[in-house]
């Protein structure tokens, strides 16, 4: 049997003191005696903040999500707030999703804030992440927390931190917080709750959020068009069941069919392998219901209700799941079109997306005379862009991983308002004798046909982390010179903030924050990005290829050619 490593054993034994409760100590003793491998995984490092806050497997130890690691985060945030907002009466909002232990962890977080005499506004029941972002601004809070692990497997949970603008934590506050947390000892966490500082919130915020979603997501769709649209919705056992059907009803959509088996929140996600609307398998029950009801559109959301998958009927009437880029293209086009019709479009209007999303979004945005801005992966960077540019008018923005934000009343990806927006598009297109899908193909004829795919290589544990680091090292030291017989002409390294133009032999600065991302561009516009996930044990490769599409009828042929091209590239680069 494997032996416990001395340095791991020392870290584990530090938890066998009166600071930690009996159950925690009992579990650690069990790992020491019976499971050296799991003990090492639990203690070999401190769980860290990624692009979406802290996310990890629940359990005992410094590398796990538990009351002590999250308590330390909360004590650190309390200390930071007192430094950043000296003399102010501090307020925070807290929400939690459907995951196992989310409610209990949210209560514990509230208690630590209260122990630090910070006023806490805690949702009385689970709520979607975008409503927490809204609540921070609506209640004039200094910060917000949501307990969630997005679409990760059931054993995960997480902790996302929001600042007073409703956006997730960004520099310089994020690095300040990490420094404070790292210097804290567990015995410095104040768990002695002061209940008078904890206030429960529910219907008042719900009403305001739902009304704001209807206002921002509605675009003069006629009653007849709404009545003529059949919608299937599933929350995949998540929190969106508390908001999205209600928003659709308030907006006037009556033909909404819910997947009954997935309607109730459940942290074990019993009907799906993964509660991720990016995966067609997760939406199978919804797609089956769509056939039964002859629905026009299917929408599924992830457990915390911030991202959505959209399926629509193709030219042959078959229901297909769009990828995140396609949904984002349609939503952005529609918003730009409506802003133009309402004379709200100006040179200060802007759309935002991320460096790993489709290049086609820039083409569409600039065709309307609006500005296009690109940021690192994660909606916190889009929120920061809005905050840093008060003179600009944010139209909408998204990323390839099935997230979209309509306007800036919420400063995070918002599947509630985006669900309504998708239905507005589908209803108006159908009323014109077209369809959501047909309009997407029309955009391809006007702006170029782009096809994107994502490959994720899962590398778990200590060895996996080292493997991912080495893959990026290898890519930097031995860069690809040619991809599918196309010369590489540009390499962007966001870790060094350098863009190396190989054709002109010019090196330029990249003026956005550093991140461990590499992007290759070829002479024909092929784009490949390599990026380690900030919240999951995987490295992601994003592929984008393009060609011209002369007419809609040629789509299947041209799209198949691009699919073949991506497969050739994957084979050539040995990426599956």
For residues 238 and 382, membership in a common domain is answered with yes
Can you name the residues that pair with 158 across neighbouring β-strands? 55
For residues 263 and 308, membership in a common domain is answered with yes
Q: 46 or 321: which carries more pLDDT confidence?
A: 321
User: Which tokens go with 306?
Assistant: 């911030």
Q: How many domains does the chain have?
A: 4
Does 51 score more than 70 pLDDT?
A: no
- DSSP code at position 23: H
Q: What angle do CA 308, 311, 314 make, to 5 degrees?
A: 155
Q: What is the pLDDT of residue 465?
A: 85
For residues 190 and 220, membership in a common domain is answered with no
For residues 77 and 144, membership in a common domain is answered with yes
Q: What is the pLDDT of residue 50?
A: 64
How far is 380 from 113, CA to CA, in rounded Å?
Answer: 23
Check which CATH number belongs to the domain holding 455 and give it.
Answer: 3.30.310.50
**Do you find a cis peptide bond into 301, omega within 30 degrees of 0?**
no
For residues 434 and 516, membership in a common domain is answered with no
How far is the CA of 484 from the CAs of 523, 541, 542, 570, 571, in angstroms? 11, 16, 15, 10, 10
Q: What is the pLDDT of residue 36?
A: 93
Average pLDDT over residues 11-21: 95
Q: What is the pLDDT of residue 109?
A: 98
Q: Which of 78, 114, 150, 435 is catalytic?
A: 150
Q: 527 or 6: which carries more pLDDT confidence?
A: 527
Q: What is the pLDDT of residue 461?
A: 83
112 Rama sector, left if φ>0, alpha if ψ -120 to 50, beta otherwise = alpha
How far is 165 from 167, CA to CA, in rounded Å?
Answer: 6
Note whether 532 and 459 are within 8 A (CB). no
Note whether 448 and 362 are within 8 A (CB). no
- For 183-212, write each residue's pLDDT tens digit: 999 999 999 999 999 999 999 999 999 999
User: Which tokens go with 400?
Assistant: 């390839």
For residues 305 and 372, membership in a common domain is answered with yes
**pLDDT classification of 380: cutoffs 50, 70, 90:** very high
How far is 239 from 241, CA to CA, in rounded Å?
Answer: 5
Average pLDDT over residues 133-151: 97
Does 485 score more than 80 pLDDT?
A: yes
How far is 371 from 393, CA to CA, in rounded Å?
Answer: 10
Does 282 score more than 90 pLDDT?
A: yes
Weakest-pLDDT range from 223-232, 247-256, 481-490, 531-540: 531-540
Residue entry with tokens 């004379």: 343
Q: Which residues of 492-516 are buried (b: 16+ CB within 10 A; e: fewer)?
A: bbbeeeebbebeeeeeeebeeeebe
Does 534 score more than 80 pLDDT?
A: no
Q: CB neighbours of 252 closer than 8 A, spacing ≥ 6?
A: 221, 223, 226
Note whether 24 and 130 are within 8 A (CB). no
**pLDDT classification of 287: cutoffs 50, 70, 90:** very high
User: Which tokens go with 493?
Assistant: 């390294």
How far is the CA of 337 from the CAs of 177, 332, 361, 372, 425, in angstroms? 41, 8, 14, 15, 11
Does 449 score more than 80 pLDDT?
A: yes
For residues 26 and 78, membership in a common domain is answered with no
Of the three residues 447, 480, 515, the one that is the final residue of a domain is: 447
Share of the chain above pLDDT 70, in %: 99
**β-strand 349-354 against 371-375: which pairing, if any?**
parallel
For residues 36 and 51, membership in a common domain is answered with no
For residues 387 and 304, membership in a common domain is answered with yes
Residue entry with tokens 């929350």: 235
Residue entry with tokens 């039964």: 292
Note whether 150 and 158 are within 8 A (CB). yes
Q: What is the pLDDT of residue 1?
A: 52
For residues 93 and 27, membership in a common domain is answered with no
How far is 404 from 416, CA to CA, in rounded Å?
Answer: 10
Distance of CA 365 to the CA centre of its chain: 22
Question: By CB neighbour count within 10 A (0-12 exposed, 13-18 middle, 19+ buried), where does 110 fall?
Answer: buried
Average pLDDT over residues 217-222: 98
Q: What is the pLDDT of residue 48?
A: 82
For residues 443 and 388, membership in a common domain is answered with yes
Q: What is the pLDDT of residue 463?
A: 85
Q: CB neighbours of 525 closer than 8 A, spacing ≥ 6?
A: 359, 545, 546
Give SS3 for 98: coil
Average pLDDT over residues 423-436: 98
Q: 408 or 2: which carries more pLDDT confidence?
A: 408
What's the chain's length in residues? 576
How far is 263 from 239, CA to CA, in rounded Å?
Answer: 9
- For 384-406, write each residue's pLDDT tens digit: 999 999 999 999 999 999 999 99
For residues 324 and 429, membership in a common domain is answered with yes
Check which CATH number belongs to the domain holding 251 and give it.
Answer: 3.40.120.10
- For 79-125, write each residue's pLDDT tens digit: 999 999 999 999 999 999 999 999 999 999 999 999 999 999 999 99
Q: CB neighbours of 474 closer than 8 A, spacing ≥ 6?
A: none
Q: What is the pLDDT of residue 3?
A: 82
Q: What is the pLDDT of residue 464?
A: 86
Mean pLDDT for the chain overall: 96
Q: What is the pLDDT of residue 350?
A: 98
Of the three residues 426, 447, 468, the one that is the final residue of a domain is: 447
The interaxial angle of helices 415-431 and 324-341, nearest 10 deg, is: 70
Question: By CB neighbour count within 10 A (0-12 exposed, 13-18 middle, 19+ buried), where does 454 fall?
Answer: middle
Q: What is the pLDDT of residue 460?
A: 85
Give SS3 for 121: strand
Task: Reply yes or no on whether 274 is catalytic.
Answer: no
Of the candidates 460, 528, 454, the one whose C-alpha atom is nearest the C-alpha of residue 491 is 528
Share of the chain above pLDDT 90, in %: 92
145: containing domain: 45-201
Of the three residues 166, 201, 236, the one that is the final residue of a domain is: 201
């Amino acid at each position: 049997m494997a032996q416990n490593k001395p340095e791991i054993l020392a870290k584990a034994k530090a938890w066998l003191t009166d600071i930690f409760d009996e159950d925690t100590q009992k579990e650690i003793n069990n790992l020491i005696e019976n499971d050296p491998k799991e003990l090492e995984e639990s203690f070999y490092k401190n769980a860290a903040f990624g692009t979406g806050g802290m996310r990890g497997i629940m359990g005992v130890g410094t590398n796990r999500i538990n009351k002590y690691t999250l308590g330390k985060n909360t004590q650190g945030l309390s200390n930071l707030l007192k430094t950043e907002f000296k003399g102010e009466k501090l307020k925070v909002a807290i929400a939690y999703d459907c995951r196992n232990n989310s409610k209990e962890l949210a209560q514990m977080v509230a208690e630590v804030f209260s122990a630090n005499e910070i006023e806490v506004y805690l949702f009385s029941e689970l709520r979607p992440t975008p409503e927490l972002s809204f609540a921070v601004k609506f209640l004039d809070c200094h910060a917000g927390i949501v307990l969630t692990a997005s679409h990760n497997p059931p054993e995960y949970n997480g902790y996302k931190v929001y600042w007073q603008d409703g956006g997730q934590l960004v520099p310089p506050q994020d690095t300040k917080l990490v420094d404070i947390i790292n210097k804290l000892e567990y015995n410095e966490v104040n768990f002695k709750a002061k209940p008078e500082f904890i206030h429960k919130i529910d219907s008042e915020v719900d009403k305001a959020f739902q009304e704001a979603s209807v206002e921002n997501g509605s675009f003069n769709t006629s009653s007849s068009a709404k009545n003529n649209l059949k919608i299937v919705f599933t929350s995949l056992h998540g929190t969106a069941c508390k908001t999205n059907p209600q928003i659709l009803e308030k907006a006037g959509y009556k033909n909404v069919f819910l997947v009954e088996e997935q309607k109730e929140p459940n942290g074990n996600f019993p009907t799906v392998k993964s509660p991720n609307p990016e995966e067609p398998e997760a939406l199978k029950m919804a797609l089956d219901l769509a056939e039964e009801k002859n629905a026009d559109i299917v929408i599924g959301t992830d457990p915390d209700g911030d991202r959505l998958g959209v399926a629509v009927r193709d030219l042959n009437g078959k229901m297909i799941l769009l990828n995140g880029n396609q949904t984002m293209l349609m939503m952005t086009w529609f918003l730009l079109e409506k802003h133009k019709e309402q004379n709200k479009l100006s040179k200060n209007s802007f759309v935002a997306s991320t460096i790993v999303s489709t290049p086609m979004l820039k083409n569409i945005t600039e065709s309307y005379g609006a500005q296009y801005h690109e940021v690192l992966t994660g909606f916190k960077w889009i929120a920061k862009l809005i905050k840093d540019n008060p003179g600009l008018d944010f139209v909408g923005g998204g990323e390839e991983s099935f997230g979209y934000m309509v306007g800036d009343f919420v400063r995070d990806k918002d599947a509630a308002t985006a669900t309504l927006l998708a239905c507005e598009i589908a209803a108006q297109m159908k009323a014109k004798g077209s369809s959501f899908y047909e309009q997407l193909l029309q955009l391809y004829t006007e702006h170029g046909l782009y096809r994107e795919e994502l490959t994720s290589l899962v590398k778990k544990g200590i060895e996996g982390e080292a493997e991912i680091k080495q893959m990026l090292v290898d890519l930097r030291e031995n860069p690809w010179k040619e991809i599918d017989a196309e010369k590489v002409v540009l390499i962007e390294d966001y870790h060094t903030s350098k863009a190396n133009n190989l054709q002109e032999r010019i090196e330029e600065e990249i003026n956005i924050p550093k991140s461990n991302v590499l992007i290759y561009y070829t002479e024909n516009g092929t784009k490949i990005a390599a990026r380690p996930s900030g919240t999951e044990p995987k490295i992601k490769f994003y592929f984008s290829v393009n060609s011209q599409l002369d007419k809609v009828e040629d789509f299947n042929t041209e799209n198949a050619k691009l699919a073949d091209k991506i497969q050739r590239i994957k084979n050539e680069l040995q990426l599956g």
